[in-house]
Chain A
Amino acid sequence: MPTPVSTARQCLTEEAARALDGAVSVAKRRSHAQTTTLHVLSALIALPSSILREACSRARRSAYSPRLQFRALELSAGVSLDRLPSSKGASDEPPISNSLMTAIKRSQANQRRHPETFHLYQQLNSCQPSISAVKVELKHFVLSILDDPIVSRVFGEAGFWSTDIKFAILNPPTISRFAKTRCPPLFSGNFSELELNKRGFNFPFPGVVENVDENSRRVGQILVKENLRNPLLIGVCANDALKNFVESLQRGKIEVLPKEIYGLSVISIEKEISEFINGGLSEDRMRLKFIELRDMVAKCEGPGIILNYGDLRVFVDVESVDAVNLMVSELKRLLNNSGGKLWLIGAVADDNSYKKLLARFSSIETDWDLHLLPITSSIEGLSSRSSLMGSFIPFGGFFPLPSEYEPPSTSQSSTLCNLCKEKYAQEVSVLKGGPTDSVVGQQSENLSSWLQIAERDLSKSSGAVEAIDDKTVLDAKVTGLQRKWSDICQHLHRTRSFQEENSPRSQFLGDQPSQVVSVLKESTRAGSLLDEGRITNLSPCNSLDLQNKLKPVASDIDANAKAELQVQGWKIHQLEMNVLQNPSRAQHNWSLPVDCTLSPSVTPVTTDLGLGTLYACAGEERRNFNPKEHYDCTPYFSGSSRTSENTSHQVAQSSYCSYGQLEKRIDGKDLEYPWKVLAENVYWQIEAIRTISQTVSRCRTGNGSSRGSDKRNVWFSFLGPDKVGKRKIAAALAETIFGRKGHLLSVDVESQFEIRVCNSIFDHQDSEYYGLKKCGRKMVVDYIAEELSRRPHSVVLIENIERADFLVQNSLSQAIKIGKFRDSHGREIGINNAVFVLTSRFLKAHDDLFSGKVSYEFSEEIISDAKNFQMQILVGSTSGSYSRNRTGNVLVTPSKVTAIPCSVNKRKLVNNESTKAGMPKRMCEMSRSNLDLNLPIEEMEQDSDIDKCDSESNYEVWLEELLGHVDENVVFKPFDFDSLAQKILNVINFGFQKVVGPDNFLEIDREVMVQILAAAWLTGREKAVEDWIEQVLFSSLMEAHQRCHVTDSVMKLVACEGLVVEEQFSGVCLPTRIILN
């Protein structure tokens, strides 16, 4: 809502109100709907002797004439105003825009806090507590106007730095630029608003001198020290840095040195030293040289002499120790006799040489009073226009570019249009004047960030769902367009009569030409102002040529442009800016054919602006329309909802009961029923199930718990192998105690370290069946705490507890003792209704059981790698002699594609190896002996190295203690895969002979066998796999047999690598169909 002018005027002093009136009249004249900060700016500039004009003239840094720079300011303000939409029915007094009103409010607050007036307002406040009582003085009004990004952009375009202007306004005119950098912050309590002012004096380091590279500056600092003042530059780039320093001294660039030692002269004896040491120069000559030097130092009138002995490597590399000895001692003598008028400087490329030197001359450090100065970057890339800087277009001004210091030659200027030329000249002057250009660079980015947002809007509107994909396409389009426009824009500035020539373009440009035209007009005016003699005339053939080139481009754009019209407004402007800012580049383009200008190095750069707030909101926006992220944000939801869908029908009988009822039911009810079902599902762990059911009934009835009777939470540890069995039992616990499987919260502590095998048969199962979700980057404790606070009635399954991190350890230890679970922020959540199940692959208490285990053909590790692949039957004739083995006609063969499962295996095992931080040594050793075949020796050694370094004792102690506190340690037996495999093979063999005939053989790929076993492990029905064999495998075998009509054939059942099972046989993770060949 715009504010009426009269309201705004009440906040201002007379003087400031006059400025506002001026702004209102500007807005009225231009028939704009509102009065904005830009109007105020324009009004302030228009006044012949305003505070702003005066400040600008003081803040000016460029060598350019003030008249022209003011003109540039007026122009850029004018252009910005032109860009504002004009309204038809403009009122007498265009009301104050929100941005301007905010600026006024800001200045009120500002003024109130200002030290000069603070007390005044404090007193005033006591009787009239409203902030609006503050009448804003013009000074503060102007200051807050300058804070507006739109305004500072205008200043930037004109080559001003709004910071400088603010300084000029705040500081009395007598303060020089040097003093300014040291004055204390004026608004210590006003950080956010005038933070710009803090720049420079905020960091109490010696002020940076322009045109001096950092390395040389550091050398200079060392020179003025009391002792240790002879720098020895060390580092790969040390020699370059030394050369650079010496050269700039020789060239008379005194800024390199601190003021105290201005006028230091430099003498290089590098050449003499290397000649002498290598035997090219006689000792007498050398001594003579030293005497000469001594005289020079004695006669020296200035602050002194700095003696460059060059690269120390010659001292180290050469054999003739005598010569080097002489040098070292002569230099020492020279230094001692100089009376503080002599400095030594040198360089050495690496610390090795320096060490050697120290080994030879142990006292050289003190003798020469050395100060080691590490040099870590070459100045090459930064101070001169090296290839590294070639592409550094938008910020080219940060680096002194000597070649551009000369006034533009006629040939150069003749190819530039007037506006460009003016901007160019400005840029050059700005370059000379200092770093003002960084603001210019910033401005251009400012624009492009707007552009970014516009882009985003665009992509939003055009199908928000595929936003990501769309956006990249769009990006590409936009970039393409941008390039074309950059061409056009450059041409625009050259072809003055563009209106007559470019009909196709102006059609769809709509209202933009007016703007461009105004720019053009202004450019002409500016040109005549600037330098009438230099106005260039394009040769006719040149412009004709251009026209031809332009046309295809323009029509091209026409096709593309429909959707992007909105963006173009910004883009055009931005491109103009780019061209204006980089006239030298533009000129470069100009000489190239249109197509060539597409090369990345010459296209204007469209970096974004780094204004934090803008990005922040941009980021937010993105987040909003990214559906995938939404999904990520609520990992639990999606998981749980799916789970409950799957399971609700199974547990419908109890799922709608309230908790109170539920618990009563548990207390009184005979636990037999659910446990019996479970025992059927997990038939191989009957022992464990029995223990668990007893413990649950004992703890839930409140007696027999070892840790006080008021405790309602139950703790289990499931130790030993059989991951699947543990999960099933945990899920069943949730169902039994709380009524639904949805109350299972499972976390695999290890999963975040594990390199997952893709397409695992377990993936599918994990998410669908158990609601197992990785907690992602969220910390495990936070994840658990969050879920528990949402659903306190849960079974918390924490797998691989031995891998728990420090925080989980702490929280669990605390939780088991006091019944409160703490997250990483220290918040505590009551866990009185929860059941904790901690699982570990290792049997702490029964190590002997585990280590006494014989190695299985199909171990749990191997089964865990089972893939969920489609199967295929291949048929061939008997090539070798197949004899019946104990399984009859069916045999399991090693996988044909050994390489892949093997490497997967290895990776996983290596992973296990290196990550079993919590395990006792013995266990590591043991499992390692099992892995020998899969592991290269070095790898093992490396890993064990790390293992040994582990501070494992902590973990062990902790785990022992924790396991000592749980209500019951349940030991799981390993799932007997081998006998199951045998059983399955027998079934297959029996059926195969019946279906196909006794003369045929079936080879089952080992990988397929693993898959079948895994499926049998996962399934809830004992008979499910047999059913599958019966219904799927046999029918497929039969069909395959019939197809090939060979009596004695070999059939192979193999997995189709990479082809994931799509349809599942009921109740088991096996394909419903087998591919036949």
Chain B
Amino acid sequence: MGQSVLEALNVRVVGSGEKILVLAHGFGTDQSAWQRILPFFLRDYRVVLYDLVCAGSVNPDFFDFRRYTTLDAYVDDLLHILDALGVERCTHVGHSVSAMIGILASIKRPELFTKLILIGASPRFLNDKDYHGGFEHGEIEEVFSAMEANYEAWVNGFAPLAVGADVPAAVREFSRTLFNMRPDITLFVSRTVFNSDLRGVLGLVKVPCSIIQTTKDVSVPTSVATYLKNHLGGRSTVHMLNVEGHLPHLSAPTLLAQELRRALSR
């Protein structure tokens, strides 16, 4: 049984190190997003890679629209993978939605995680009374209707925006993975993500966290990094990356890899 989940979510374990490092990709990408980061860790870590069920590289039939209505289902997937692999302790590097998943997983099973590294993470994307998440409700609706109206056009417009930095290869790569997702799944997942609100539970995280934030991120304002730092229950640090964009692992992999190493060594 367990085997089939590993198979379905394309779980890969690579590297020759002792310590276990989970690289979890974010919304709109798949594990290939870590391709440029991976070589930096193969020597010292055993790296676990997997695809979120919503990724384009996973058979869309596995995406159960009734099950994946909240992030908890994704958390179950992650925990299941770790259990199936017999992982007892690991460091979880999560980008965007996977950062949220990592947070929830560490609440559920704190003993499993030595550290969380959150890249481009946000507990809540929508603005609130005294919280600036970066998106107004109306904006989101516009994004959704744009997505519905013409997915390809949306992808082509959104990808450069998300990548931020002027790195055509990264834009291309992100467009590709984003495009690989079935549009209805993309829409559904983004609704799930925008519907999620982790603010009330951040304090339950007891695992130390490193928050990696780029200087300009369309999806996550820098104030969110501070918010996370202040509200996360464990010891947490913020690292600012001096690049732009929501996907530093695509647009500035070398820099991110160095930052990750630094974050990991602490």
Contact = CB atoms under 8 A, between A and B. Distances in A.
Interface of A: 163, 184-185, 191, 195-196, 198-200, 202-205, 208, 210, 213-215, 218, 234-238, 348-352, 354-355, 372, 374-378, 381-382, 387-388, 391-395, 398, 435, 438, 441-442, 445, 452, 472, 475, 479, 600-601, 603, 605-612, 615-616, 618-619, 628-629, 632, 752-753, 776-780, 805-807, 824-825, 911, 914-915, 917, 942, 946, 949-951
A351 B204 contact: yes
Interface stretch (B21-29, B86-94, B111-119, B184-192): B184-192
Interface string B45-84: 0000000000011011110111101111100110010000
A204 B169 contact: no
B69 A214 contact: yes
A601 B149 CA distance: 9
Given A199-B64, A391-B141, 10 more contacts: A195-B59, A198-B8, A213-B69, A377-B195, A388-B195, A445-B183, A601-B145, A619-B176, A779-B36, A807-B40
B62 A202 contact: yes
Size category of the binding interface on chain B: 35 or more
Contacts of A472: 153
B184 A442 contact: yes
A140 B191 CA distance: 39
Interface of B: 1-2, 4-5, 7-8, 36, 39-40, 56-57, 59-62, 64-67, 69-73, 76-77, 80, 100, 104, 107-108, 124, 141, 144-145, 147-153, 167-170, 172-173, 176, 179-188, 191-192, 195-204, 233, 239-240, 242-243, 250-255, 257-258, 261-262, 265-266
Given A199-B62, A235-B200, A610-B56, A191 B7 contact: yes
Nearest to B84: A204
Contacts of B147: 607
A350 B200 contact: yes
B197 A779 contact: no
Contacts of A452: 152
Contacts of B251: 777
Contacts of B169: 632, 776-778
A280 B2 CA distance: 55
Contacts of B252: 752-753
B203 A615 contact: no
B262 A949 contact: yes
Nearest to A350: B200
Nearest to B67: A208
Contact of A806 (B71, B204, B257): B257
B198 A376 contact: yes
A241 to B, nearest CB: 10
A283 to B, nearest CB: 32
Shortest 3 CB-CB distances between A and B: which pairs?
A: A610-B182, A351-B203, A607-B183
A608 B242 contact: no
A779 B254 contact: yes
Contacts of A381: 191, 195
A204 B1 contact: yes
B257 A214 contact: no
A612 B180 contact: yes
Contacts of B172: 629
Contacts of B253: 777, 779
Contacts of A441: 184
Contacts of B191: 381-382, 388, 392
A204 B80 contact: yes
A374 B184 contact: no
A1026 to B, nearest CB: 38
A615 B150 CA distance: 15
A203 B70 CA distance: 16
A435 B67 CA distance: 12
14 contacts: A195-B61, A199-B62, A205-B73, A234-B204, A237-B200, A351-B203, A376-B70, A376-B197, A398-B65, A612-B56, A619-B176, A776-B167, A778-B169, A807-B254
A1005 to B, nearest CB: 29
B70 A214 contact: yes
A394 B148 contact: yes
User: Which of A435, A475, A612, A629 gathers the greatest number of chain B CB atoms within 10 Å?
Assistant: A612
A618 B202 CA distance: 42
A376 B71 contact: yes
B61 A196 contact: yes
Contacts of B64: 199-200, 203, 208
B198 A235 contact: yes
B64 to A, nearest CB: 6
B210 to A, nearest CB: 10
Nearest to A774: B167
Main secondary structure on chain B at its contact with chain A? helix
B72 A218 contact: yes
Contact of A610 (B60, B62, B199): B60
Contacts of B204: 234, 351, 372, 374
Contacts of B80: 203-205
A185 B203 CA distance: 42
B179 A615 contact: yes
B183 A199 contact: no
Contacts of A438: 65, 184
A629 B169 CA distance: 9
Contacts of A391: 141, 144-145, 148
A954 to B, nearest CB: 9
A394 B184 contact: yes
Nearest to B204: A351
A777 B250 contact: yes
A908 B136 CA distance: 34
A753 B201 contact: no
User: Which of A348, A377, A606, A949 gathers the greatest number of chain B CB atoms within 10 Å?
Assistant: A377
Contacts of A607: 147-148, 151, 183-184, 187
Contacts of B107: 372, 374
User: Which of B56, B141, B185, B195 gathers the greatest number of chain A CB atoms within 10 Å?
Assistant: B195
A460 to B, nearest CB: 15
A950 B73 contact: no
B195 A382 contact: yes
Contacts of A475: 150, 152-153
Nearest to A388: B191
Contact of B188 (A202, A395, A608, A619): A395
A599 to B, nearest CB: 10
B66 A435 contact: yes
Contact of A377 (B170, B192, B239): B192
Contact of A805 (B2, B72, B145, B254): B254
Contacts of A198: 4, 8, 59, 61-62
Contacts of A202: 4-5, 8, 62
Given A205-B67, A235-B198, A950-B262, A199 B151 contact: no
A503 to B, nearest CB: 32
Contacts of B188: 395, 398
A551 to B, nearest CB: 27
Given A394-B184, A607-B147, A777-B253, A203 B62 contact: yes
A946 B179 contact: no
Contacts of B196: 376-377
B61 A199 contact: yes
A753 B242 contact: yes
A375 B104 CA distance: 10
A184 B1 CA distance: 8
B4 A185 contact: yes
B29 to A, nearest CB: 14
A248 B254 CA distance: 52
A216 to B, nearest CB: 11
A610 B186 CA distance: 9
A208 B56 contact: no
A234 B200 CA distance: 7
A351 B8 CA distance: 35
A92 to B, nearest CB: 41
Nearest to B39: A824
A100 B119 CA distance: 48
Given A234-B200, A351-B202, A610-B184, A377 B242 contact: no
